[in-house]
Amino acid sequence: MDPALILPPSPDRRWTLAKQIGVNCGVARFWGIDDWWEYDTLLRTRNRFEDHDISLRVVEDRPPMTRTVLGKEGRDEEIATVKQLLRNMGKLGIDTYSWVWTENPVGVVRTSDSIPDRGGSRKSGYDHAWDRQADDHPEAGITETELWENLEYFLNEVVPVAERAGVKMALHPDDPPLSPVRGVPRLVTSVEKYERILDLHPSSNHGVTFCQGNFAAMKTDIPSAIRRLGDRIHFVHFRDVEGTAESFVETWHDDGPTDMRATIEAYRDIGFDGPIRPDHVPRMAGEKDRDGAHAGYTDMGRLFAIGYMKGLIEQTA
Ligand SMILES: [Mn+2]
């Protein structure tokens, strides 16, 4: 397992902190950069990481795919961009593509970003009762059947390209794993749904981003879910939540209901050797969220999470 951090595409304090705590694996998100899937942009980003002794292994961002998800006119142009991204990643040796399906167009939903926890730290959470009274999304009319058809169409187009490029696609759950959200059905919400999605196009290049917090919210037994999905897991988000998909808080890594050591043991059992990164963390003293819509990416909690993860990885070796 390769401890990793999500990092911006250009160096800042976060790159330095990563190196200082011994993290050499980068996960890129391209905040504010247009057409980042093009060869030249990806190439310079990959080499910038390399020049700072960080290997860029994961792209965790997605070109626009709203028409693809909704099955609308123009989806083939969107899909062509995803294929271009996969081919470019293959040429540059960036081996893992973490993506979402029905989570868009609605996006990650949290209803609180400052729930008090120990020592005045602040964590995020979700309560479906609040979200239920929000207005429906403009695309609320789409049915689950249509979404399944559109997903199958997309996979049949892109998975062969990922195979030829040697890139592992890793589908992230819909967060929270509930359906519908704002009137839009969501597909990636349980282990059973994952199995159905993986069976739509059986290929080792079509796998899973195992975001533990979502599986905790699904109320599934996490070590057995890891063993069930097995070698189709290509990337891990290490986090925990307390509660259910309808109502949860995102806990400290050492303070949630999941036996985190047992999850690391399960990754070892399946032979998982890929990148594992901490996901959402509580906000600590003196920290401000970078962006209210993405609570959970502050620095200090991530340092704590990496230390905790590294301890477990060492202990279970
Ligand atoms: Mn995640």
Residues with CB under 5 A from ligand 1 (ion): 211, 237, 279
Mean predicted lDDT score pLDDT of the chain: 94
Q: What confidence score (pLDDT) does residue 240 get?
A: 97
> Cα(152) to centroid of ligand 1, in Å?
23
Q: What confidence score (pLDDT) does residue 207 get?
A: 98
> Cα(270) to centroid of ligand 1, in Å?
20
Class for the domain spanning 2-315? alpha beta
> Cα(174) to centroid of ligand 1, in Å?
9
Residue 138 has pLDDT above 90, yes or no: no
| pLDDT band for position 296 (cuts 50, 70, 90) | confident
Work out the percent of the chain whose per-residue pLDDT is above 70. Answer: 97
> Cα(280) to centroid of ligand 1, in Å?
8
Residue 63 has pLDDT above 80, yes or no: yes
Q: What confidence score (pLDDT) does residue 140 get?
A: 84
Question: Residue 186 contacts by C-beta under 8 Å, 6 or more apart in sequence?
Answer: 102, 103, 106, 174, 177, 178, 179, 180
pLDDT one-digit tens code per residue, 95-117: 999 999 986 666 678 899 899 99
| pLDDT band for position 131 (cuts 50, 70, 90) | confident
Q: What confidence score (pLDDT) does residue 31 get?
A: 84
> Cα(120) to centroid of ligand 1, in Å?
24
> Cα(201) to centroid of ligand 1, in Å?
23
> Cα(189) to centroid of ligand 1, in Å?
13
Rounded CA separation 212/241 (Å): 9
Measuring CA to CA, which residue among 225, 302, 301 is closest to residue 263?
225
> Cα(239) to centroid of ligand 1, in Å?
8
pLDDT one-digit tens code per residue, 282-295: 999 999 876 545 66
Work out the percent of the chain whose per-residue pLDDT is above 90. Answer: 87
> Cα(177) to centroid of ligand 1, in Å?
11
- Give phi and psi for 174, each to the nearest 5: -75, 130
Q: What confidence score (pLDDT) does residue 32 get?
A: 85
> Cα(273) to centroid of ligand 1, in Å?
18
| pLDDT band for position 40 (cuts 50, 70, 90) | very high
Give 105 or 298, the one with higher predicted confidence.
298
Helix residue ranges per DSSP H, the chain: 13-20, 39-51, 66-70, 75-92, 103-106, 128-132, 144-165, 191-200, 212-217, 222-229, 260-269, 299-315
pLDDT one-digit tens code per residue, 159-180: 999 999 999 999 999 999 999 9
Q: What confidence score (pLDDT) does residue 105 get?
A: 61
> Cα(295) to centroid of ligand 1, in Å?
12
